[in-house]
Structure 1
């Protein structure tokens, strides 16, 4: 977890690995190698996934980041060709296909991705990742709700508070992807009462709120002008208050994507006109930027810096800065 410091000498930057030093080292090695030896590339990816064991949260983080970083390199295809009975290879191959599919808005070979997930689950029945990947497939292919619910039960039955499972389900239900605002609200209402405050998926309520807020801004006109009122609703205001008080505390959260959720919290607090309360969150981030949610308003690093400056001014003035 990040150490707290008021120093901001280094410029903020996007860090895909977040605070996973092992993953960051592997990403650097893969970048420097430039595909010189496929066998060594595969060994690097294989080893960093193998060492996660049954830490499903860390495993998902590393698979997701590596899939995005290597989607155009052919590493996943070469690995699964060499080791067709490796659960890690199959999980990674399917996640690379999903990463590419989400960018392209379609899957090049749906049947292959589904088969990779099915086979991976057979080889490693306890692993939720094949089922989480299938939730992503359901988003692109717009599976029927009953089918998605069945996949959801498989994923969360293996890891009840799996952060990525909740993120994928939220995206499937969202109006931007063919769902509806009502479906999102129903989902949040159902899960809110059961999720522990420090579970990896606990930020899902604020994640949904930020998505809704940005959707209102994107519509322009009156909806954009009144978007800030979203944060004044009782339940959401309480959730934001609790998050501001608890999330930045060292040790409160332990999940691998904590810094991504702190980025989202800092953005939400500033959007709600509570920039002063975002100051300790920016301190905890120590210049680590994630593309979302900042990229909805321009270059993510620049927007991050602008909001952080607002938080600093708000702290000095003792009040939030809209």
Structure 2
């Protein structure tokens, strides 16, 4: 998707990013389940075949509705509707992320498989199943089987690549070496502006945040991460191209630009961060800004420091 026009706006958390149709829907969703289902179905129908947009919209809706009865009621009323099943499955995964465990994981996985059966060309049920696999700590052969199902339908699915980063991380039972191998194999074949273009940079920001999270002396010298060759090269590859008008067009490009702005500030490359903030137009994502406290406060302070860079 295209960027917002470059202008100074008050910073705001906008889960829809620059998807104006999704933003309008989030504001208009009512308690009436039938009306909600019709509105959601209409929006998802508009993006059918645009898997990047569809994944973005389903993910935002799942987060927005995960504590409501809407996904469950819709799926119960329309058990052969792939959209309803996918939204209900993703909403339960979103809720599990906050609660720490996934209730009825087998049922959620079955709903994903049922949605995949109804809409065999759609990668989204497999993307959601990949999230289930992470929560349930599936063995690598199973996880890579699901991963291959996603890639067979959507080669550069952003959500799937980021899920694999999480699964392969030391925090989830993988290792730093596995992350490096995964990212290196991607760089060799990935076009520069596909939806998963931020996979490498996300890996570096995640590693940097993990170092900060350990506290002590390691946290005090965490900035050194951005001086090592691989981290510096990762930033160099994208710092100037991503802000070019029209270069990034995927649905969550503004989320990736938030990651870039954060990384440039962490690396003390404030002058390069200034145009990234300009393109963002005040749209803020929770991650990675929340690592330092309130994301809006952290974003605003970083933006001011970038603007004041000599």
- TM superposition score normalised by structure 1: 0.94
**Would the aligned equivalents of 2:116 and 2:122 in 1 still touch at CA under 8 Å?**
yes
The 5 A counterparts of 1:94-243 are 94-243=89-238
Q: Which position in structure 2 is the counterpart of 1:26?
A: 25
The answer to whether the 8 A contact 1:126-1:158 is kept is yes
8 A Cα contact 2:12 2:296, kept in partner: yes
Q: Helix, strand or coil: the match of 1:245?
A: coil
* Shift, 1:192, TM fit: 1.6
Distance 1:251 1:105 in 2: 39
Partner residue in 2 for 1:320: none
CA contact (8 A) 1:14 1:290 kept: yes
For residue 15 of structure 2, what is the aligned residue in structure 1? 16
Matched-pair contact (CA < 8 Å) for 1:4–1:283: no
User: Which of 53, 57, 62 is the equivalent residue of 1:58?
Assistant: 53
How far 1:138 moved relative to its partner? 1.0
1:267 counterpart (225, 248, 262): 262
Give CA deviations for 1:206-252 in whole Å, capped at 9, x if unaligned: 00000000110111122112211111222321220121111111111
Supply the distance in 2 between the matched residues of 1:175 and 1:235 (Cα, whole angstroms).
Answer: 19
**Residue 305 (structure 1) aligns with:** 300
Q: Distance in 1 between the 2:283 and 2:231 partners?
A: 26
Secondary structure (helix, strand or coil) at the match of 1:255 reads coil
Q: How big is the shift at 1:38?
A: 1.4
Q: Secondary structure of the equivalent of 2:189?
A: coil
Deviations 1:299-318 (A, max 9, x none): 0000000110110111xx1x
User: Structure 1: which 5+ residue stretches go unaligned?
Assistant: 318-322
Deviations 1:68-114 (A, max 9, x none): 00111111111111111011111111111111112212111111111
C-alpha distance in structure 2 between counterparts of 1:99 and 1:4, whole Å = 31
CA distance in 2, matches of 1:3, 1:115: 39
Do the aligned partners of 2:3 and 2:246 also contact (CA within 8 Å) in 1?
Answer: no
Partner of 2:3: 2
Distance 1:138 1:38 in 2: 29
- The number of residue pairs the alignment matches comes to 309
- The whole-number CA distance in structure 2 between the counterparts of 1:3 and 1:19 is 6
Quote the offset at 1:4 in angstroms.
4.2
The answer to which structure, 1 or 2, has the higher relative contact order (CA under 8 A, 6+ apart) is 2
Q: Write out aligned runs for 1:264-303 (5 A).
A: 264-303=259-298
Provide the rounded CA distance (Å) in 1 between the counterparts of 2:266 and 2:141: 36
Q: Deviations over 1:141-161 (max 9, x none)?
A: 000011111111111111110
Contact 1:216 1:227 survives alignment (8 Å): yes
Q: Deviation of residue 45 (structure 1)?
A: 1.1
> TM-score by structure 2 length?
0.97
CA distance in 1, matches of 2:174, 2:100: 16
Cα distance per residue 1:166-196 (max 9 Å; x no partner): 0111111112222222221121122121111
Tell whether the 8 Å contact from 2:109 to 2:129 is kept in structure 1 after alignment.
Answer: yes
